[in-house]
């Protein structure tokens, strides 16, 4: 063991290696020295555990791998071939070309974010995007914060702190990451008042719970699960009627921010902000990076009076959206205002793709991959906490795994090791590639990955 420790090269010898010297040039000497020392600590630990001492090339290989993992550009570009359109783990909605260009303009130069060009004085970062939100949704007023959870919390804090908020037991939901509506209410300073049962709640239940301490009625769209069978929920119109008669504001957490009718594409109807505004809600909240197809954002819509109250709350500044996402959101909203969202917003291009068009593409890809790749009928999911249980008919490329020594997991891993990585899905020990969620610019790289992985497995 002593001999093993003696064979460990000193730090200076490793720094003199050509490959490590290149790392120093690309990064910094101090950072690389720290990384080298950590790698040598790992080597000492392995030797102490009885492993043979690695040679210097192996140590440098480890240094390079750790350097790449620690300091690579992140997030990395990946190809989404899963068929899940709003894949939360892959960043949800990809942006339109216009939105990307808007982000670049905002990032690389100064802009009139909070500057009034006409008067030459300070302006509001909310004014322009709020006008677009109102035009797209029919709202009287609007504002934008950094995500929908912030939007809901801000609305509750502004209108219902130290007061009761009435919500159906079936809508006290948990969204991703363990984030729960009751916890949002608690943090906002409002008190939770549950009514009805898990599966059936009526407008009368809300009205019966109203007291002089009631701050608001909150309706929450169950966007990430579905309750079926013996169920009942009041319409938003019924809740607005209760609120108006009892002088209680009605708030609506719409979730995914869908501005197009989903039934047009064979999907279940999704609540639309336009409909909630026509119903007369006081405040509505929705996400920017789900069915809106934009960047992460929380959009607040409602009456002028209610939005003005929210905008003056101290938390509004803590939750404000940054200039880059603001630019992308404005560009995305313009697609809806121009009536072009279906052909320019990537997620709506995916949703509106016909099964025949997908089948044709899948057939071409299977032929190009070779090695026994076939096509199968399947289903694409919406994902991202939107339209739970709803799918779209699709065709997928099924990659051969019967002869692969590594099995389906190995084939999927081979795709992930491509440049860029290809993320597929495994069903019944088959690796499936769904064309619906593959962006057109990614097709050449995808085909190269398919040929490489199918060829490698076939020869193995």
Tell me how far apart the alpha carbons of residues 365 and 235 are, in angstroms, rounded to a whole number. Answer: 46
With H, G, I as helix, E, B as strand and everything else as coil, classify residue 168: strand
Q: Residue 179: its pLDDT value, please?
A: 64
CA pair distance 391, 351, nearest whole angstrom: 10
Helix (H) or strand (E) holding 381: strand 374-383
SS3 content of the chain, % helix, strand, coil (to 5): 50, 20, 35
**Closest listed residue to residue 446, CA positions, set 85, 92, 95, 82:** 82
pLDDT value for 382? 93
202: pLDDT strictly greater than 50: yes
Residue 460's pLDDT is 47
Q: Look up the CATH number of domain 79-88+347-459.
A: 3.90.1150.180
Q: What count of other Cβ atoms lies within 10 Å of the Cβ of residue 71?
A: 14
Q: For residue 190, which of 146, 249, 141 has the smallest C-alpha distance?
A: 249
> Which of 228-232, 352-356, 439-443 is predicted least confidently?
228-232
Please state, in angstroms and as integers, the Cα–Cα distance from residue 249 to each residue in 21, 178, 340, following that order.
65, 28, 34
State the pLDDT at residue 225.
59
Distance between CA atoms of residues 186 and 192, nearest Å? 7
**Which of 217-248 are b and which e, b meaning 16 or more Cβ less than 10 Å from the residue's Cβ?**
bbbbbbbbeeeeeeeebbebebbbbbbeeeeb
Residue 260 scores a pLDDT above 70: yes
Q: Which residue has the tokens 């990537």?
A: 346
Residues in the chain: 460
Q: Is the separation of the CB atoms in 147 and 256 below 8 Å?
A: no
pLDDT value of residue 457? 57
Q: What is the pLDDT of the chain when averaged over all its residues?
A: 91
Name the least confident of 274-278, 408-412, 455-459.
455-459
CB of 115 closer than 8 Å to CB of 271: no
Summarised one tens digit per residue, pLDDT across range 300-341 is: 999 999 999 999 999 999 999 999 999 999 999 999 999 999
Q: Where do the CATH 3.90.1150.180 domains begin and end in the chain?
A: 79-88+347-459
Q: Which of 255, 338, 295, 383 is nearest to 94 (CA)?
A: 295
Q: Which has the higher per-residue pLDDT, 302 or 230?
A: 302
For CA atoms 119, 124, 129, 134, the dihedral sign is negative
Q: Which of 85-99, 169-183, 332-346 has the lowest mean pLDDT?
A: 169-183
Q: How far apart are CA 47 and CA 56, in angstroms?
A: 14
DSSP 249-318: -EEEEEES---S-GGGGT------HHHHHHHT-SEEEEESSSTT-SSS-EEEEE-HHHHHHHHTSTHHHH
What values do phi and psi take at 384, rounded to 5? 60, 30
> ∠ CA 62-68-73 to the nearest 5 degrees?
170
Q: Within the chain, which residue ranges are assigned CATH 3.40.640.10?
A: 97-344
What is the CATH architecture assignment of 97-344? Answer: 3-Layer(aba) Sandwich (3.40)
Tens digits of per-residue pLDDT, 362-385?
999 999 998 889 999 999 999 877
Task: Using the predicted structure, report yes or no on whether residue 403 has a pLDDT greater than 70.
Answer: no
Q: Could you tell me the two tokens for 240? A: 């607005």
């Amino acid at each position: 063991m002593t001999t093993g420790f003696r064979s460990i090269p000193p730090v200076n010898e490793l720094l003199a290696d050509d490959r490590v010297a290149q790392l120093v040039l690309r990064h910094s000497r101090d950072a690389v020295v720290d990384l080298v020392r950590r790698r040598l600590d790992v080597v000492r630990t392995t030797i102490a555990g009885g492993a043979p001492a690695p040679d210097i090339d192996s140590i440098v290989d480890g240094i390079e791998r750790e350097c790449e993992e620690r300091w690579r550009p992140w997030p990395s570009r990946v190809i989404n071939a899963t068929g899940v359109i709003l894949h939360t783990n892959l960043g949800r909605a990809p942006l339109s070309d216009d939105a990307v260009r808007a982000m670049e303009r905002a990032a690389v130069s100064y802009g009139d974010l909070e500057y009034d060009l006409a008067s030459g004085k300070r302006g509001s970062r909310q004014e322009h995007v709020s006008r677009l939100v109102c035009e797209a949704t029919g709202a009287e007023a609007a504002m934008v914060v950094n995500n929908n959870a912030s939007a809901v919390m801000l609305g509750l804090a502004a209108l219902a702190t130290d007061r009761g908020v009435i919500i159906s037991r079936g809508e006290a939901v948990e969204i991703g990451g363990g984030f729960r509506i009751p916890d949002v209410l608690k943090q906002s300073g409002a008190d939770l008042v549950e009514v009805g049962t898990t599966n059936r709640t009526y407008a009368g239940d809300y009205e019966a719970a109203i007291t002089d301490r009631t701050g608001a009625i909150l309706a929450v769209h169950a966007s990430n699960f579905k309750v079926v069978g013996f169920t009942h929920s009041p319409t938003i119109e019924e809740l607005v009627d209760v609120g108006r008669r009892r002088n209680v504001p009605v708030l609506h957490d719409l979730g995914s921010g869908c501005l197009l009718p989903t039934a047009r594409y064979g999907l279940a109807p999704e609540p639309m902000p336009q409909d909630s505004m026509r119903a007369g809600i006081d405040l509505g909240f929705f996400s920017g990076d789900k069915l809106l197809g934009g960047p992460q954002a929380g959009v607040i819509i409602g009456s002028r009076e209610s939005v003005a109250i929210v905008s003056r709350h101290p938390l509004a500044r803590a939750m404000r959206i940054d200039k880059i996402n603001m630019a992308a959101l404005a560009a995305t909203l313009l697609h809806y205002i121009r009536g072009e969202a279906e052909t320019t917003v990537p997620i709506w291009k995916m949703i509106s793709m016909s099964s025949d068009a997908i089948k044709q593409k899948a057939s071409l890809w299977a032929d190009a991959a070779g090695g026994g790749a076939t096509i199968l009928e399947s289903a694409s999911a919406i994902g991202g906490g939107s339209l739970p249980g709803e799918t779209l008919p699709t065709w997928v490329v099924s990659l051969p795994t019967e002869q692969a020594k590594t099995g389906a997991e190995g084939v999927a891993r081979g795709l992930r090791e491509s440049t860029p990585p290809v993320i597929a899905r495994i069903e019944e020990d088959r690796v499936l590639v769904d064309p619906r969620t593959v962006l057109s610019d990614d097709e050449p790289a995808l085909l190269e990955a398919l040929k490489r992985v199918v060829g490698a497995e076939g020869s193995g």
